[in-house]
Amino acid sequence: MPTQPTTIVLDQARHLLLKSADIIAMEQWAGVSWMTAAQERSERGLVGFLWAGMRWREPKITPAEVSARLDEARGNGVGIVQLWDGINDLLINSGLLPRVVAAQNGHPPNAAPESPPAPSPGATPALPTG
């Protein structure tokens, strides 16, 4: 399942990766599925995702230790939106959420391209060049 680590700054830059066993442990600890935790964006869900993602490098880390690092991050100006954006990247990089294709030519992802404008009535059609 894991594809590539995601860097999230807490007390320092942390490289997180979600593995199946860690997701299951997070769901048991949080009392909700990872999908529900991602949708609710609660403090418990945030700590749960950070904890699960940090376990591949620090297998003995506890949610209480993650909470302390989270408090330190907030004291250093790291905001909740920035943290949840990082969790979203973590879910994508771990293969749990789909990667959205970037917009091209000013069109939103997955949008059908616009048709060229129809010629004005009475206009002379352009001849191909080249």
Q: What is the pLDDT of residue 87?
A: 95
Within the chain, which residues score under 70 in pLDDT?
A: 1-2, 100-130
Asked whether residue 48 is domain-assigned, the answer is yes
Q: How far is CA 71 from CA 24, 46, 67, 78, in A?
A: 25, 12, 6, 9
Number of domain units in the chain: 1
Q: What is the pLDDT of residue 130?
A: 54
Q: What is the pLDDT of residue 11?
A: 87
Cα–chain-centroid distance for residue 46? Answer: 12
Asked whether residue 39 is domain-assigned, the answer is yes
Q: What is the pLDDT of residue 51?
A: 97
SS3 of 37, please?
helix
Asked whether residue 89 is domain-assigned, the answer is yes
Q: Which residue range is the domain that position 77 belongs to?
A: 6-93
Asked whether residue 47 is domain-assigned, the answer is yes
Asked whether residue 16 is domain-assigned, the answer is yes
Q: How far is CA 112 from CA 48, 107, 118, in A?
A: 38, 8, 17
What is the CB neighbour count within 10 angstroms for residue 22? Answer: 22
Write phi, then psi, for 99 (nearest 5 degrees): -85, 125
Asked whether residue 125 is domain-assigned, the answer is no
Asked whether residue 110 is domain-assigned, the answer is no
Asked whether residue 129 is domain-assigned, the answer is no
Query: What is the pTM (predicted TM-score) of this model?
Result: 0.74
Residues in the chain: 130
